[in-house]
Structure 1
Amino acid sequence: MNIFEALRQDHEKQRLLLKILVETHGDTAARREYFDELKDELERHATAEERHFYVPLMDDDNAVELSRHGIAEHHEIDELVEKLDGTEFSSPAWLRFLKQLKEQVEHHLDDEEQEFFQIAGRILNEKQKKALGEAYRDEMSELA
């Protein structure tokens, strides 16, 4: 599995968890469970993605700015997760913050898949793509 396939696989999981969460209501066990899973997924993904996708690409002048932008978006997502963490699950504000998180995460994933993957695809050779995919998957497993 190359790096793009590995990242897309996790992107789909994040999209699904966000979709499920938006459909939950009130302070339910399901809301807590799905949010904890999403929070863990986003944290592990950001760490592994930064190490095994963004950092290696920063060696190329054509990818520096996009890498910085992607990492900055990870921090914005972290701040929204923190805001959700500090809000009661039953509060109407929780769902409002979740919708902001969903919008931010989906924007980030779309940016990566529609713009950054194409640039990275021209920078990385096939051997690098596969090695980064394996390193990313290994780290995701270690962080689990």
Structure 2
Amino acid sequence: MRTQSALTKTTGNSLAKSTAIAKAKKVAPKLPARIGTTPATKFRGNPDVFGRLVEDHDRHRALLAMIAATQGKTPERKRLFKELVLEIKGHAAAEEQALWSTVLRNPATTEDARHAVAEHHEMDEMMADLAARDMGSSGWLRRFAALREEYLHHVREEEQEQFVAAEKHLTAADIRHMRQVFNRRKQAEKSSAKVEKKIKLKP
């Protein structure tokens, strides 16, 4: 039998996930946002920077699922893809400023920070490549599936490994302050983000 604290945590996790999905649904209310089961993480629903980052991850998971549910070059697909790009760009830039810039200075976690930032740049290239291609083609869907797989791998790695490692080297005050920085920078970065179009040539 689960304890009251375990039940409370489970309820908090479900609420946090539902709230994130509801934000994504505002872009295209009629489309399903079936994100399925998500990787286990102790941070979902937490009132700190890591909880805030996971909230965005769930929102992005929902946007990805909704795009996958669209067909052809529809207004919904265009709108959802634009929102996904602006969301991920704003999130990644704010995450780098609020979290990884500090984590990068600690030799124990430098590699995690570099890895996360490198994957942000890789996803930027993948999104720019998608934006430059015919959204109604089967080739676009294949490339979108690759982006989705890459992004889901990236956030799972952050939630289960990199955030856990970073937390060990940060004070509680640092973590609380980082949430404030992230929220402020996320809004600014998303507002200034643009959908870039650039075909990614194979090396």
* TM-score with structure 2 setting the length: 0.69
Q: Distance in 1 between matches of 2:188 and 2:107?
A: 31
Cα deviation code 1:35-89 (max 9, x no counterpart)? 0000000110111011111111011111101110001101110111011011111
Counterpart of 2:110 in structure 1 is: 64
Q: Distance in 2 between matches of 1:58 and 1:141?
A: 23
Is it true that 1:12 corresponds to 2:58 in the alignment?
yes
5+ residue gaps, structure 2, are 1-46, 192-203
Counterpart of 1:137 in structure 2 is: 183
Q: Counterpart of 1:77 in 2: which secondary structure? A: helix
Q: Offset of 1:14 from its aligned partner?
A: 0.7
Counterpart of 1:93 in structure 2 is: 139
What is the percentage of aligned positions where both structures have the same residue? 32
Q: CA RMSD in A?
A: 0.8
- With a CA cutoff of 8 Å and minimum separation of 6, indicate the structure with the bigger relative contact order: 1
Q: Offset of 1:142 from its aligned partner?
A: 2.1
Runs in 1 of length 4+ with deviation above 4 angstroms? none
**Length, aligned pairs only:** 144
Counterpart of 2:79 in structure 1 is: 33
5+ residue gaps, structure 1, are none
Match of 2:101 among 47, 55, 76: 55
Larger radius of gyration: 2
Whichever residue aligns with residue 178 of structure 2, its letter is L
Q: Distance in 2 between matches of 1:17 and 1:24?
A: 11
Is it true that 1:21 corresponds to 2:71 in the alignment?
no
Cα deviation code 1:95-143 (max 9, x no counterpart)? 1111000001000000000001111110111100000011001111223
Whichever residue aligns with residue 155 of structure 2, its letter is L
Is it true that 1:108 corresponds to 2:172 in the alignment?
no
Counterpart of 1:80 in structure 2 is: 126
